[in-house]
Amino acid sequence: MLPLMLADVEQAAARIEGHVTRTPLVCSSSLSAFSNQPVYLKLETRQPIGAFKLRGAMNAILSLDEAARKRGLVTASTGNHGRAVAYAARELGLPATICMSALVPANKVEAIRALGAEIRIVGSSQDDAQEEVERLVASRGLVAIPPFDNINVAAGQGTIGLEILEDLPELSTVLIPLSGGGLAGGIAVAIKALMPQTRIIGISMARGAAMHAAVVAGRPVAIREEETLADSLGGGIGLQNRVTFALCRSLIDEIVLLAEDEIAAGIRHAAREESETVEGAGAVGIAAILAKKVSLTGPSVIIVSGGNIDPEIHKTIVDGVVA
């Protein structure tokens, strides 16, 4: 039996209603023409924090009892999850500490700081930041809100799958950014339970794709975190992974890896053809289609997971300065 079930996702949907945005599903005429199949964009960029992570963070925090919440929250993040925890904590009147590595872009760090959270920059990897979380849990009694390997976090992300099927019951394929597996695993649980024939494709960058390496090895493995345009997909999945590895290994039909120039092309296309500002991690589904690394056979959905990209980097990519 998998660690997360459809009932968990349905309960999360009821719990977070009114706390998160039900995001739009819009048809991309350009990608539909390119693919000769209807292609839709699920715009999680419309969340208050500009990324899907608010769903899982809010569900996990609302699942805590009042005493646990008041102890204070702590998490490790590559940016968007930290922003989600900080936002949810502010909305609920709770203190939050966000631990990040030096690889997290400055614009994401400052966005978290603006929400009133305490910031800790530690080391040069997500694993280093996670060690600081564990230290703070032990020394200050804070309550950890994991970025992905948690039933309530993954269930919250899975609510995207429920919304997609409500809007597009004829769904054939869904392309999902793949990192720690909370997003891909949660959505896959919902969609495979309700429409098992739907194809689930995880998309990651070639540089340091931790879940892909784990699936290939048949177990969680250590990977070297590298700089990438898809910075939100960086970091390991945890050698003691309890939830998301099992979900991804069992439910994802295919994993596609992208080069940096392919990710840049996805960002550029989103801006020029879709009028959407999308970060590297959010653009990987678009990029996979443009690179012809996936073949579509029916109505398909791309999860556009976030839009929190540094404006100067975005401009250089859109202007064609970055290949």
Active site residues: 53, 305
Residue type, 285: G
Encoded tokens for 49: 């924090």
Smallest CA-to-CA distance from 9 within 156, 131, 121 is with: 156
Paired sense of beta strands 96-100 and 73-76, if any:
parallel
CB atoms within 10 A of CB 102: 12
CB of 265 closer than 8 Å to CB of 122: no
Q: HSE of 274 in the Cβ direction (CA atoms, 13 Å)?
A: 28
Q: Please state the φ and ψ torsions of residue 74, each to the nearest 5 degrees.
A: -145, 145
Of the candidates 104, 107, 87, 157, which has an alpha carbon nearest to the alpha carbon of residue 305? 157
CA distance 275 to 121: 33
Overall size of the chain counted in residues: 323
Cα end-to-end span (Å), the chain:
45
The rounded distance, in Å, linking the Cα atoms of 16 and 301 is 23
